[in-house]
Chains A and B, each alone.
Chain A
C-alpha cells in the first residue's frame, strides 16, 4: 500500500523560511503533490513534482528526490495568511485516487 509521513506541526515567524518534509512509501510512483487547506475549507493545489529537483512557484517551491522517497515544500517570506494545513499526496496504484498524508499545521506568528 501507500503511506506518507509529514510532521504534524511547524511554527515560524513572519518573513522567515520554513520547510515541510514528506516521506512516502508506494509500490508505484506517479509524482508528489502538495495542497494547502485553511481551517477545514477547500484544499487548494499548490504544486506537483514528477521528476527529481526543485519546482518554484512564487514564494513556494517544492522538491523531490525519488531515490530517497522524499520531498519537501519550501515557503519563503512567510505571511500570516500562510497559516494553514499543508498536505503531501501521491496517486494510488490504480491511478484514480490521491492518497494524502495527515497534514502539517503551519502557524505563522508576528
Chain B
C-alpha cells in the first residue's frame, strides 16, 4: 500500500507568488491534516479536513487555505508568499474515528523555499 504522498517534494518561489501543495492520503483514510515545520522546530498545525469539511484551523493568516476533494486528496494554497513561509509542509492522514493510539501517518513533505 502506498503511504501518504505529497507533491512536489521541493519548490522554490519568489516573494508575493502563490503556491499549491498536494497530498494524497493512505487508501481508506478520510481525514487529512496539514502542518508547517520550520527548521529546528516541531510541526505546527495549519488545517484538518474530514469528509471535505474543515474541522480545525491553526493560528495561520488567511493567506493559507486548503480544500479536500471527493477522493480525500487535499491541496494547501498559500498566497502572497513571505520569506517566513519557507518551511517543510507536512500532510498527515488518519482513519475516520481513529484515535491517537493509531497515530498519524505523515508524508515526506514539500520543502518550500521563498526567495
Q: Separation in Å of the A18 CB from the closest CB of chain B?
A: 19
Residue A41, interface by CB 8 Å: yes
Residue B58, interface by CB 8 Å: yes
Interface size on A, residues (CB 8 A): 26
Q: Separation in Å of the A31 CB from the closest CB of chain B?
A: 5
A40 touches B56 (CB 8 A): no
Q: Binary interface profile of B, 29-42, with partner A (CB < 8 Å = 1, else 0)?
A: 00001000101111
Complex contacts, A41 vs chain B, CB 8 Å = 108-109
Q: A42-B106, A97-B58 are in contact. Are A50 and B41 (CB under 8 A)?
A: no
A42 touches B100 (CB 8 A): no
Residue A43, interface by CB 8 Å: yes
Residue B64, interface by CB 8 Å: no
Residue A70, interface by CB 8 Å: no
Residue B88, interface by CB 8 Å: yes
Residue A102, interface by CB 8 Å: yes
B109 touches A40 (CB 8 A): yes
Complex contacts, A30 vs chain B, CB 8 Å = 100
Q: Separation in Å of the B4 CB from the closest CB of chain A?
A: 8
Q: Separation in Å of the A43 CB from the closest CB of chain B?
A: 5
Complex contacts, B58 vs chain A, CB 8 Å = 97
Complex contacts, B56 vs chain A, CB 8 Å = 92, 94, 96-97
Interface residues of B (CB under 8 A from A): 3-4, 33, 37, 39-45, 48, 55-56, 58, 88, 90, 100-109, 111
Interface residues of A (CB under 8 A from B): 30-31, 33, 35, 40-46, 48, 50, 87, 89, 91-92, 94, 96-103
